[in-house]
Amino acid sequence: MNINHLNLKNQLELVKTNNWIDVRGIENAHQLSDQYEDICKKHEINKKWILMINPENQSLAMLSKSNKVDISKILKVNTNKTKIDIKNIEFALGNGNCAAVILCNPSLKDDELAQLNQYAEKGQTDCIVLKSNQQLH
């Protein structure tokens, strides 16, 4: 089955069909900070980069104050002035240099998430999508 041809009704259905895309709902800034910390701790054992695209600054600042996470392996990219270029995300996922790519509140369609799943699998890179129920920035 080619994942590009899946007819996905919603993002939760996508999460059930693979192991490389993880869509998580975020209720508040504290929960977001906890998610950042959990993701970083889980992936730091790989000694690879963790790429954060459009992270929330306050939650990221809380992470940098934590002694539990090595922030030297975190790359932060902001695309606030432009739309996220999916080709760049595909490259980051597919080349395998990152342990994880974290997308914060992306405006991606289900078919784009399915496409990212292919690249994540190719590069053995987890892709975590954090969707906020409120505006955190």
Q: Which residues pair with 51 in a beta bridge?
A: 75, 101
Helix 110-123 with 86-94: angle, nearest 10 deg? 30
pLDDT in tens, 72-131: 889 999 887 777 788 999 999 999 999 999 999 888 888 999 999 999 999 999 999 999
Look at residues 34, 56, 53, 59 and name the one whose alpha carbon lies nearest to residue 92.
53
What are the CA-CA distances from residue 100 to residues 5, 43, 133, 135 (Å)? 25, 7, 23, 23
CATH class of 19-132: alpha beta
- pTM exceeds 0.85, yes or no: no
